[in-house]
Amino acid sequence: MPILKNPKHERFAQQLAQGKTADEAYQLAGYRENRGNAARMKANDSIVSRVAEIQGKGADKAELSVERVLREIQAMAFYDPASLVETAIKKPQDIGKLPEEVRRSIVGWSWDRQGKFVIKLADKSKALDQLARHLSIYNDKLDVNLTEGLAERLARAKGRG
């Protein structure tokens, strides 16, 4: 465990590990004036190490990993709805009879107005979108190159004046 200078540094690291911005973490740790100190403190090697350690412990405890999250999204994106018609599902206990890849895509269940058991499946479109974004399939970035042709535009503007 990295040794931090004082309890405020520990609180700062805890807040950063929870996803707070440097400024928010700085205030929540009990500091008053910022003056750029939050950004400098966030870059401190001991703070960086402590934040990584805190986040690692949380992920280990919950058995979280990028791979596991991607496997779950993949299960929701690629389940075969035809697998549902092969098994009679009339109550929650019947869900266990479904293939695992279909069970992992179930996000809820209820009974409709006629008293029939209804399962709610993951939104395949949303799951596919998440995977596509992870794989950078979409090009959501707008490339604005302001330096291209700038000299020519400045010369034209100078000539007008």
- pLDDT, one tens digit per residue, over 4-19 is 778 889 989 999 988 8
More confident call, 63 vs 66:
66
pLDDT surpassing 70 at residue 140: no
DSSP-derived 3-state class of residue 15: helix
In percent, the amount of the chain with pLDDT more than 90 equals: 25
Question: How high is the pLDDT of residue 85?
Answer: 83
How many CA atoms lie within 13 Å of 113's alpha carbon, on the beta-carbon side? 0
In this structure, the dihedral spanned by the alpha carbons of residues 91, 96, 97 and 101, taken in order and rounded to 10 degrees, is 120
More confident call, 63 vs 7:
7
Residues paired with 111 in a beta bridge: 117
Q: In degrees rounded to 5, what are phi and psi of residue 145? A: -100, 100
DSSP-derived 3-state class of residue 117: strand
pLDDT surpassing 80 at residue 54: yes
> What span, in angstroms and rounded, lies between the C-alpha atoms of 122 and 120?
7
Rounded to an integer, the average pLDDT of 84-111 is 88
Tokens 């000299």 map to which residue?
151
Question: How high is the pLDDT of residue 144?
Answer: 64
pLDDT surpassing 70 at residue 62: no
Token pair in block for residue 67 = 């791979």
Burial class (CB in 10 A: 0-12, 13-18, 19+), 95: middle
pLDDT surpassing 90 at residue 83: no
pLDDT surpassing 70 at residue 141: no
Question: How high is the pLDDT of residue 156?
Answer: 83
